[in-house]
Protein backbone atom coordinates (compact mmCIF):
# COMPACT_ATOMS: atom_id res chain seq x y z
CA UNK A 1 0.00 0.00 0.00
CA UNK A 2 1.23 3.47 -0.92
CA UNK A 3 -0.19 6.71 0.43
CA UNK A 4 -0.51 9.08 -2.55
CA UNK A 5 -1.78 12.00 -0.49
CA UNK A 6 -3.07 12.47 3.02
CA UNK A 7 -5.72 9.78 3.53
CA UNK A 8 -5.61 8.47 -0.05
CA UNK A 9 -3.93 5.13 -0.73
CA UNK A 10 -3.35 2.79 -3.60
CA UNK A 11 -2.85 -0.97 -3.36
CA UNK A 12 -2.94 -3.36 -6.32
CA UNK A 13 -5.07 -5.77 -4.27
CA UNK A 14 -7.74 -3.14 -3.56
CA UNK A 15 -10.01 -1.93 -6.37
CA UNK A 16 -7.41 -2.93 -8.98
CA UNK A 17 -5.03 -0.25 -7.70
CA UNK A 18 -7.42 2.70 -7.90
CA UNK A 19 -6.85 5.47 -5.33
CA UNK A 20 -9.16 4.86 -2.36
CA UNK A 21 -9.98 6.43 0.98
CA UNK A 22 -7.39 5.03 3.41
CA UNK A 23 -8.64 1.97 5.26
CA UNK A 24 -11.62 1.50 2.93
CA UNK A 25 -12.46 0.25 -0.54
CA UNK A 26 -14.18 3.54 -1.42
CA UNK A 27 -12.65 5.06 -4.58
CA UNK A 28 -11.56 8.68 -4.26
CA UNK A 29 -13.02 9.51 -7.67
CA UNK A 30 -16.44 8.30 -6.55
CA UNK A 31 -16.38 10.72 -3.63
CA UNK A 32 -15.26 13.63 -5.81
CA UNK A 33 -18.04 12.83 -8.30
CA UNK A 34 -20.64 12.82 -5.51
CA UNK A 35 -19.50 16.26 -4.33
CA UNK A 36 -19.58 17.53 -7.93
CA UNK A 37 -23.13 16.22 -8.33
CA UNK A 38 -24.26 18.42 -5.45
CA UNK A 39 -24.57 15.78 -2.75
CA UNK A 40 -23.87 17.20 0.70
CA UNK A 41 -20.66 16.33 2.55
CA UNK A 42 -22.71 15.00 5.45
CA UNK A 43 -24.81 12.74 3.19
CA UNK A 44 -21.74 11.40 1.40
CA UNK A 45 -20.04 10.62 4.71
CA UNK A 46 -23.11 8.77 5.95
CA UNK A 47 -23.71 6.86 2.71
CA UNK A 48 -20.12 5.62 2.39
CA UNK A 49 -19.28 5.24 6.09
CA UNK A 50 -16.40 7.71 5.93
CA UNK A 51 -15.59 10.95 7.70
CA UNK A 52 -15.96 14.48 6.41
CA UNK A 53 -12.14 14.72 6.63
CA UNK A 54 -11.93 11.73 4.24
CA UNK A 55 -14.03 13.66 1.73
CA UNK A 56 -11.83 16.73 1.96
CA UNK A 57 -8.78 14.49 1.53
CA UNK A 58 -10.29 13.11 -1.69
CA UNK A 59 -10.94 16.64 -2.95
CA UNK A 60 -7.39 17.65 -2.07
CA UNK A 61 -6.03 14.64 -3.95
CA UNK A 62 -8.11 15.60 -7.00
CA UNK A 63 -6.75 19.15 -6.83
CA UNK A 64 -3.18 17.83 -6.70
CA UNK A 65 -3.78 15.64 -9.76
CA UNK A 66 -5.37 18.50 -11.69
CA UNK A 67 -2.49 20.82 -10.87
CA UNK A 68 -0.09 18.28 -12.39
CA UNK A 69 -2.03 18.10 -15.65
CA UNK A 70 -0.80 20.03 -18.64
CA UNK A 71 -3.25 21.20 -21.27
CA UNK A 72 -2.02 22.43 -24.61
CA UNK A 73 -4.38 24.72 -26.48
CA UNK A 74 -4.46 24.40 -30.23
CA UNK A 75 -6.32 26.52 -32.70
Q: In the chain, what are the domains?
A: 2-68 (1.10.10.10)
Q: What is the pLDDT of residue 40?
A: 98
Rounded Cα–Cα distance for residues 52 and 71 (Å): 31
- For the chain, how big is the Rg over CA atoms in Å? 13
Taking 90 as the threshold, does the pLDDT of residue 70 lie above it? no
CA count, 13 A, side-chain hemisphere, 64: 13
Taking 90 as the threshold, does the pLDDT of residue 71 lie above it? no
- Report the predicted TM-score, pTM, of the whole model to 2 decimal places: 0.89
pLDDT tens-digit map of 3-47: 999 999 999 999 999 999 999 999 999 999 999 999 999 999 999
pLDDT tens-digit map of 36-62: 999 999 999 999 999 999 999 999 999
Rounded Cα–Cα distance for residues 52 and 21 (Å): 11
Q: What is the pLDDT of residue 74?
A: 86
Amino acid sequence: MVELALGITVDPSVRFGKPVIKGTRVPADTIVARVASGMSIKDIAEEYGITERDIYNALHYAAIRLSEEQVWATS
